[in-house]
Amino acid sequence: MALLYGCPMLEYLFIGLVGVVVGGINGMAGGASVISYPVLLATGMSPVSAAISNALGVTPANFFALISVRHKMRDYFREYRKLIIISIFCSATGAYLLLTVPPGVFEKMVPFLLLGASLTFLIKPKPDRGARHGLMEKIGIGASGLYCGYFGPGQGVMVIAVLARDIRRDPKTLNTAKNLIVGWTSLVSNIIYIFSGKAVWPAVIALVIGGSIGGTFGGRYAARMPASIYRALILSVGFGASAWLFKKYYFG
């Protein structure tokens, strides 16, 4: 059943408003595309089209969130370029899998993927500067890139969970590095999505507009949202949507 009784204009307006919220939260911390994905599904999109449209729509928010620190971008890119390259390569692999794996298989995996993305919000990173830290960080970022290309929602939280194990990074640095890595990673996989023919462009545009507005303010006011409210919001939506998807694809 379509959202808002099948009225396209109201649907896209609502998606745009959701985009503002998602962009704002993504700019401050990340992972809010867990909210927009089930909204797109509720409009009647297939899981693959919803995943692709969601990815295309929320990516600009990460770049707009970097506006407030644009004068430091060269230094950040130089420091994190190896992780960005690893994540980009893995993301392209994930995007290829998304477009080649049979839709029926993806539908069965979606409830588990969304549940897993939601559970990442319960991760409490423990600082680690051991001898294997660099290798484990590269593996973790690569895994998040693969996940980004194949599904996406929750990647920002995964990236922060990996980067936060370096005790030298303060919250502001973590947020900026996350936006940089997720932004470039998503940009490459999105290029693949654009030529897939599976994107629902009016929904993408609505998310881009809303997400860009929200991301601009989210990046500027990073870390001002109370962590407890942020986690409660994402967990409620993520677990609720997961339950709905399990019912839809396994018990419907």
DSSP 87-124: HHHHHHHHHHHHHHS-HHHHHHHHHHHHHHHHHGGG--
Poorest-pLDDT segment among 59-63, 205-209, 221-225: 221-225
Tokens of 5: 């009784």
Q: What's the half-sphere exposure (Cβ side, CA atoms, 13 Å) at 2?
A: 12
Longest dimension (CA), the chain: 57
Which one is predicted more confidently, 108 or 164? Answer: 108
Amino acid 2: pLDDT = 53
What confidence tier does 231 reach under pLDDT thresholds 50, 70, 90? low
For the cut 50, the answer to whether the pLDDT of residue 1 exceeds it is: no
Amino acid 227: pLDDT = 62
- Which residues, in sequence order, are CB contacts of 161 under 8 Å at separation 6+? 120, 123, 125, 140
pLDDT in tens, 77-111: 899 999 999 999 999 999 999 999 887 888 788 78
Backbone angles phi, psi at 192, to 5 degrees: -65, -40
Q: For the chain, what is the mean pLDDT?
A: 82
In angstroms, rounded to a whole number, what is the distance separating the alpha carbons of residues 233 and 216?
A: 20
Quick one: how far is CA 66 from the chain centroid?
A: 16
For the cut 70, the answer to whether the pLDDT of residue 225 exceeds it is: no
pLDDT in tens, 30-76: 667 888 988 998 888 888 999 999 999 988 877 777 777 788 888 88
Q: What is the mean pLDDT of residues 230-237?
A: 69
Percent of residues, the chain, with pLDDT higher than 70:
83
Tokens of 193: 């999505």
Poorest-pLDDT segment among 10-19, 107-116, 125-134: 125-134
Neighbours of 132 (CB within 10 A): 9
In angstroms, rounded to a whole number, what is the distance separating the alpha carbons of residues 91 and 14?
A: 29
Q: Which burial class, exposed, middle or buried, applies to 13 when counting CB atoms under 10 A from its CB (0-12, 13-18, 19+)?
A: middle
In angstroms, rounded to a whole number, what is the distance separating the alpha carbons of residues 98 and 200?
A: 16
Q: How many angstroms separate the first and last alpha carbons of the chain?
A: 14
Domain ranges of the chain: 7-250
Amino acid 157: pLDDT = 75
Amino acid 146: pLDDT = 92
In angstroms, rounded to a whole number, what is the distance separating the alpha carbons of residues 66 and 104?
A: 37
For the cut 60, the answer to whether the pLDDT of residue 228 exceeds it is: yes
Amino acid 64: pLDDT = 75
pLDDT in tens, 173-201: 887 888 899 889 988 899 999 999 999 99
In angstroms, rounded to a whole number, what is the distance separating the alpha carbons of residues 187 and 191?
A: 6
Q: Is the dihedral of CA 164, 167, 171, 172 positive or negative?
A: negative
pLDDT in tens, 5-36: 456 788 899 999 999 988 887 766 666 788 89
